[in-house]
Amino acid sequence: MDTLNLDLNKRYTYADYLTWFDEKRRELYEGFINLMSAPTRKHQKISVKTTSKLFAFLENKKCEIYSAPFDVRLPVNGERADKDIYTVVQPDIVIICDLNKLDDKGCIGAPDMIVEILSPSTTRNDLKDKYFLYERAGVREYWIAYPSNNSIHKFVLNSNKFELEGMYVEGDKISPTIFPDLVLDITDIFEM
């Protein structure tokens, strides 16, 4: 039961976020609460398939992969204290290669790669809000998966700006720029 009465117009920190013990899933975008809903079955299947393929590839490499819920704190100017961090997100899939960014709470700083799987309730967040948060934080690669049309848009950071590297649909193969020898089949990722 939710006993918290949080003001959605108030700005909060990660230290505040850590005190919210209830059933709701939330993220903070520059201090403002974004409520999250439970993902659909198709969303979860895409996440599990993609995560398992990436995990198998990364098994003997120095990078680590995590899936939601997993807190990623994105400080603006290298802040480390919970009270000074205003953005915490829970991407669907994250890969971190600088293991110094990991602690018991999750990741602090930009992951190397993020995959977000769109759902009707997250479309604006993933296409606009998180896009700019990830770009500003320095995420090297950002994939947006579209379950409605079985496609993935791949963005790569270049000179501190995301560039659309490609749009991949069923029948295409996609490789992370940071792991060019890994090849994923789009049809397989979205197969139900």
| Lowest-confidence pick of 114-128, 129-143, 146-160 | 114-128
Q: Domain count for the chain, please give it.
A: 1
Q: What is the CATH number of the domain that holds 107?
A: 3.90.1570.10
Tens digits of per-residue pLDDT, 138-165? 999 999 999 999 999 999 999 999 999 9
Residue 83 lies in a domain: no
The first and second tokens of residue 12, run together, are 């909060």
Tens digits of per-residue pLDDT, 5-19? 899 999 999 999 999
Residue 114 lies in a domain: yes
Question: pTM higher than 0.85, yes or no?
Answer: yes
Residue 64 lies in a domain: yes
Q: Where are the beta strands (DSSP E) in the chain?
A: 25-29, 32-36, 64-67, 72-73, 88-89, 93-96, 102-103, 106-108, 113-117, 141-146, 151-158, 161-169, 173-174, 184-185
The first and second tokens of residue 3, run together, are 């006993």
Burial 21-45 (b: 16+ CB within 10 A, else e): eeeeebbbbebbbbebeebeeebeb
Residue 156 lies in a domain: yes
Q: Which residue range(s) make up the domain with 166?
A: 40-68+91-190
Residue 97 lies in a domain: yes
Tens digits of per-residue pLDDT, 26-73? 999 999 999 888 899 999 999 999 999 999 999 999 999 999 999 999
Mean pLDDT of the chain, nearest integer: 94
